[in-house]
Structure 1
Amino acid sequence: MSCRSPSLVPKPLIRSAEADKRLELFMVTSVATILCIRFVLHATGYPQLAIRGLHIAHVLLGGALMVLSIVILLAFIDRYSSDLAAVVGGIGFGAFIDELGKFVTMDNNYFFQPTVALIYITFVLLYIFSQMINGEQLTHEECLLNALELVKDAVIKDLDIQERKRALELLDGCDPSDPLVKVFKDMLAGMECIQTPDPGIYTRCREGARRVYHWLVSRRWFVNAVIAFFIIQSVVTLFEAALLVMIKLADSFLQLRLISISMASWLELLAATVSSILVLSGVLMIRRNRLAAYYRFKNAMLVQILLVQTFAFYRDQLSALTALAINIVILLTLRYMIAQESSADSADVLRSLS
């Protein structure tokens, strides 16, 4: 029997329906690892693990764990091995990138001030890349292959009711004329399912946080507080920017040398000013078009998270971490507000057509 030679034409990359969850798990695990390492090192006085003059840095442990995660992905084909690889790889990547300061300085300085800012930029870029991957709906072939991934669980008697429901939803997104769609649906209909297992700790924590989040954003006082926060922050930022510019102009003309501002601080101030202008433009149009105003607010928060926070981490890591947490909460709230306003607009359009 002859075998067909491998094609030199590159094959399309097939996206996983679980990619969003696994990439989230990877990033959460990585960030948690960095925080844990820095906390333990600070609490123990930054000890060094050395054997006969050899310093064993935790970047080596990180590399080993990342290799282990790749081996898991290459050697096993069940879905749980992919989840395990996301956790193991996340721990490894966190341990690896925590020592970034040593590899961008001539003197191997772990405490290099911009390190946290560089780590932050890395995770922002990773998040943007993950959103680009998951931005579009799955294609017909991707839905079929992801449904097949779920069907594989039936072989090891581990297909639960929720997974079968998810597989059928994926098949509903396929081209019904494809004969494989009917074959897979018939297979799923004839399979016995186990009871849905109890969610793990990570899932319970995430669902608990989601319930708290939805409770908050459904309260009108919280939405008003968010908008008030935007207005106050923007006015204060613009006032600070104007004041600093006036002082620097006075310094230039009178040569008093009252204040010294670094280039990073000027760039942070410029990004914050752009964010404030977006907010104030949204406030001006909120009565005419709430959805457009919410998008202005969202863009302002993206400028805050992607630009302002980068310079803030360079300047002061602790306060920047607190500000980042607040900005993320506000961004999630704005996403909910936009979704609610879009749904209301869609309902109005349907009523006008009927």
Structure 2
Amino acid sequence: MFNLHRPIISASATRYLLVTVLSFAATVVVTRVYLELTGYPQIGNDTFHIAHALWGGLFLIVAVLLMLVFANRWTYDVSAIVAGVGVGLFIDEVGKFITQQNDYFFPLAAPIIYVAFLLMLLIYLMVRRRQTSADLVANMYQIIRELEEVLEDDLSVSERDAMLAQIEPITQQTDRPDVAELAKHIHAFLHTDAVTVVPDQHSVFTNLIERFQKLENRLFSQGRTRMLLTLVFLLNGLSTLFVLFTLFSALATGSFTFPTILGDIVVDEVHVTGTTSLNWFVAMIALQIITGLLLFFSAVTFLRKHDKTAVRIGEWALVISIVFINPLSFYFNQFSILLNSVYLFLILITLQRYRFRFLRDD
């Protein structure tokens, strides 16, 4: 009988989602770069054109079949990669789906792709936050799934110890006596000699993480990281102040008016074609000025050693840039701002690492 029970978030959900998001982003970037370098070749003839959106659909079908057919846990990692590639190939041709002329280069396509990436990233963050809450049933689901390592003769010492630590409180709870009894049997089984336990072996990814953390601890002390963030924010803020000073100086002389200055700015903007696009362009400039000022204030606050406030202001500025300014920039500048977007994400990650490493006590 089919019973619809409460959905349980997988313990590995964040890893699968992150892999999907990264493979999706990488696929779009690689596809765009490849097509640009090769002159946009097509697979087909005078009658047929096999768009890469079809290949994206094929990858998505393969990802679903892998999870439906096979029980091994590694299939979820492979499915996450394949699904990300499929989504990337599919959504890369969104311009053809939203225009009567099947225009691959339609300006709105780039911001739609970027917003789709942000939405997937938001889902990842929401799931990661949900996983921090303790849940008896969810923990038991995870333990039962971890038992697959026993079937594969691949249960490591650290994995067994983690399972024992996680199952111990379940055996003591009284809300679900049946679950507690099952947990006790699993707990006893893991202590028997029948369980083959292999020595811990770090994966390539784990080794890379450990090397990165050692390098981070050696090169990026709190003082150096604060200095780096202060310098980056200060340069951005001072450039914004210079723009404001130049603008107000030109207006104060009376030789220039705001419409004249705005006309000089947008004269080379090919995607500013009417009142609506002009209003969005002005909104983008206004937001850039606001974030520039916020970053300047964050830099000053860092200099005053008020790190917690400085991090908060910097995070607000970077989030505004990533969530609101970048979609507009993708419309007006298309994929030419891709490196700038990567730069913003790297600065935000650096800021988050600074908070995690040095401000956790606060």
Q: Is TM > 0.5 for Structure 1 vs Structure 2?
A: yes
- Rounded to whole Å, the distance in 2 between the matches of 1:314 and 1:212 is 38
CA contact (8 A) 1:295 1:338 kept: no
- Rounded to whole Å, the distance in 1 between the matches of 2:162 and 2:127 is 20
Give the counterpart of 1:157 among 153, 171, 179. Answer: 153
Do the aligned partners of residues 285 and 175 (structure 1) sit closer, same or farther apart at CA in structure 2, a change above 3 Å counting?
Answer: farther
Q: Measure how far apart 1:80 and its partner are.
A: 0.7
TM-score (norm 2): 0.82
CA offsets per residue over residues 228-251 of structure 1, 9 Å max, x none?
Answer: 211220232244256457768943
Establish whether residue 226 from structure 1 lines up as the match of residue 233 from structure 2: no
Q: Measure how far apart 1:71 and its partner are.
A: 1.6
SS in 2 for 1:236: helix
Q: Which amino acid aligns with 2:333?
A: D
Do the aligned partners of residues 112 and 174 (structure 1) sit closer, same or farther apart at CA in structure 2, a change above 3 Å counting?
Answer: farther
Q: Which amino acid aligns with 1:118?
A: I
Q: Measure how far apart 1:30 and its partner are.
A: 1.5
SS in 2 for 1:107: coil
Q: Measure how far apart 1:226 and its partner are.
A: 1.4
CA offsets per residue over residues 139-178 of structure 1, 9 Å max, x none?
Answer: 1211111111011221232323343244334435647323
Q: Measure how far apart 1:284 and its partner are.
A: 5.1
Quote the RMSD (CA, aligned, Å). 3.0
Corresponding position of 2:337? 320
Report the count of equivalent residues: 338
- Rounded to whole Å, the distance in 1 between the matches of 2:46 and 2:260 is 61
Q: Which amino acid aligns with 1:167?
A: M
CA offsets per residue over residues 26-64 of structure 1, 9 Å max, x none?
Answer: 111112222222232223221111156111111111111
Q: Measure how far apart 1:220 and its partner are.
A: 2.7
Q: Measure how far apart 1:219 and its partner are.
A: 6.0
Do the aligned partners of residues 62 and 25 (structure 1) sit closer, same or farther apart at CA in structure 2, a change above 3 Å counting?
Answer: same
Establish whether residue 217 from structure 1 lines up as the match of residue 220 from structure 2: yes
CA contact (8 A) 1:41 1:47 kept: yes
Do the aligned partners of residues 85 and 289 (structure 1) sit closer, same or farther apart at CA in structure 2, a change above 3 Å counting?
Answer: same
Give the counterpart of 2:238 among 235, 238, 245. Answer: 235
Q: Which amino acid aligns with 2:160?
A: R
Q: Measure how far apart 1:196 and its partner are.
A: 4.2
Do the aligned partners of residues 47 and 168 (structure 1) sit closer, same or farther apart at CA in structure 2, a change above 3 Å counting?
Answer: same
- Rounded to whole Å, the distance in 2 between the matches of 1:92 and 1:61 is 7
Establish whether residue 290 from structure 1 lines up as the match of residue 292 from structure 2: no
Give the counterpart of 1:148 among 138, 144, 150. Answer: 144
CA contact (8 A) 1:217 1:333 kept: no
Do the aligned partners of residues 297 and 309 (structure 1) sit closer, same or farther apart at CA in structure 2, a change above 3 Å counting?
Answer: same
Q: Which amino acid aligns with 1:320?
A: I
Give the counterpart of 1:92 among 72, 86, 97. Answer: 86
TM-score (norm 1): 0.83
Range with bigger deviation, 162-171 or 204-213: 204-213
Establish whether residue 183 from structure 1 lines up as the match of residue 185 from structure 2: yes
Q: Measure how far apart 1:258 and its partner are.
A: 4.4
Corresponding position of 1:274? 290
Gaps of 5+ in 1: 346-354
Q: Which amino acid aligns with 2:314?
A: F
- Rounded to whole Å, the distance in 1 between the matches of 2:61 and 2:53 is 12
Instruction: Give the number of the structure with larger relative contact order, counting CA–CA contacts within 8 Å between residues 6 or more apart.
Output: 2
Corresponding position of 1:167? 163
- Rounded to whole Å, the distance in 2 between the matches of 1:254 and 1:122 is 36
Do the aligned partners of residues 263 and 43 (structure 1) sit closer, same or farther apart at CA in structure 2, a change above 3 Å counting?
Answer: same
- Rounded to whole Å, the distance in 2 between the matches of 1:310 and 1:216 is 34
- Rounded to whole Å, the distance in 2 between the matches of 1:203 and 1:118 is 34
Q: Which amino acid aligns with 1:188?
A: L
Q: Measure how far apart 1:223 and its partner are.
A: 2.6
CA offsets per residue over residues 75-126 of structure 1, 9 Å max, x none?
Answer: 2222111111111111111111111111122211112233222211111111
CA contact (8 A) 2:171 2:181 kept: no
Q: Measure how far apart 1:255 and its partner are.
A: 10
Establish whether residue 193 from structure 1 lines up as the match of residue 197 from structure 2: yes
Establish whether residue 134 from structure 1 lines up as the match of residue 128 from structure 2: yes
Q: Measure how far apart 1:309 and its partner are.
A: 1.9
Q: Which amino acid aligns with 2:227?
A: N
Range with bigger deviation, 162-171 or 239-248: 239-248
Question: Where does 1:44-59 land on structure 2 (aligned, <5 Å)?
Answer: 44-51=38-45, 53-59=47-53
Gaps of 5+ in 2: 174-179, 268-277
Establish whether residue 330 from structure 1 lines up as the match of residue 347 from structure 2: yes
CA offsets per residue over residues 186-207 of structure 1, 9 Å max, x none?
Answer: 222332123445625x666566
Do the aligned partners of residues 304 and 209 (structure 1) sit closer, same or farther apart at CA in structure 2, a change above 3 Å counting?
Answer: farther
Q: Which amino acid aligns with 1:299?
A: W
